[in-house]
Amino acid sequence: MCEGCGKAVVHQFAERRAFLKLILTAPAGFACNSYAVAQVNKVAPKPGNVLTLDAALDRLMKGNARYVEGVSRRHDFNHEREPLRTGQNPFAAVLSCADSRVAPEYCFDTARGDVFVCRVAGNFASDDIVASLEYAVQVLNTPLILVLGHDACGAVDAAAKAIKDGTTLPGRLPALVAALSPAVKAVQGEPGDLVDNAIRRNVMVNVDKLKTAEPILGMAVDDKKLRVVGGIYKLVSGQVELLA
């Protein structure tokens, strides 16, 4: 019996104590949400996506290798739609830059229902992004999060210039500068190119942020239900270099 709605609901799919606690203690509007309940009462729509942490990363990187080699698979969109009509169980989540040259679904040679993608210029974990990833991990049982930066990132470059020159960008762009400033300031004075260093540091700053985002992501990492890694997408080769 769902205490939130009073309906006879047997929660079968999720075994996590925290998720059950979330469902049972959530306001009725959330607990009775048909979509959320559907996720816990049915088998995984894509059984092949039920993977261990390491197997999920291995699958991502093998997909990237196919993409780099130009041998990406042909995805049958028509037949993919039906099994995904009532749910999803992506095997990985990706936080990437909004840059149009970076397309996670393509660069990992994945189909619909495979990767849960959050994008924002500069690939940083805002509260909204963290909440979205919490949904992926807690409700969809996604075992892997990849924070994906890329070389020649315009957002990081603009933030670095604004901080270095002490200028204020127009519109709402200062919000991006503020989000990226911890990484930029952390590498100021280091040998090498400031933007390249800041791009890599920004990935790791956000990997650490997600790993320790309590209570959901941090606990999932502690329980070894979630792995969080970082990588850099190379614009010329298409290759993803793992950082950690």
* Contact residues: Zn ion, CB under 5 A: 97, 99, 153, 155
Place of tokens 């020159």: 165
- Amino acid residing at 40: V
45 versus 149: smaller Cβ distance to Zn ion? 149
Report, in Å, the least distance between residue 99 CB and Zn ion.
Answer: 4
* Closest to 19 measured CA to CA, from 219, 222, 221, 228: 219
CA distances from 12 to 41, 42, 59 (A): 5, 8, 27
**Beta pairing class for 115-119 and 227-233:** unpaired
Query: In the chain, where do the E strands start and end?
Result: 92-96, 115-119, 144-150, 227-233, 240-242
Query: Counting every residue, how long is the chain?
Result: 244
56 versus 198: smaller Cβ distance to Zn ion? 198
85 versus 172: smaller Cβ distance to Zn ion? 172
Report, in Å, the least distance between residue 165 CB and Zn ion.
Answer: 20
153 versus 177: smaller Cβ distance to Zn ion? 153
CA distances from 202 to 8, 40, 59, 176, 183 (A): 47, 35, 24, 12, 5
- What is the SS3 string spanning 45-102? CCHHHCCCHHHHHHHHHHHHHHHHHCCCCCCCHHHHHHHHCCCCCCCEEEEECCCCCC
144 versus 155: smaller Cβ distance to Zn ion? 155
Report, in Å, the least distance between residue 14 CB and Zn ion.
Answer: 35
Report, in Å, the least distance between residue 147 CB and Zn ion.
Answer: 12
151 versus 208: smaller Cβ distance to Zn ion? 151
Report, in Å, the least distance between residue 148 CB and Zn ion.
Answer: 10
Q: Angle, to 10 degrees, between the axis of helix 17-25 and the axis of helix 127-138?
A: 110
Report, in Å, the least distance between residue 152 CB and Zn ion.
Answer: 8
Report, in Å, the least distance between residue 30 CB and Zn ion.
Answer: 34
**What is the separation, in whole angstroms, between the first and last Cα of the chain?**
43
176 versus 221: smaller Cβ distance to Zn ion? 176
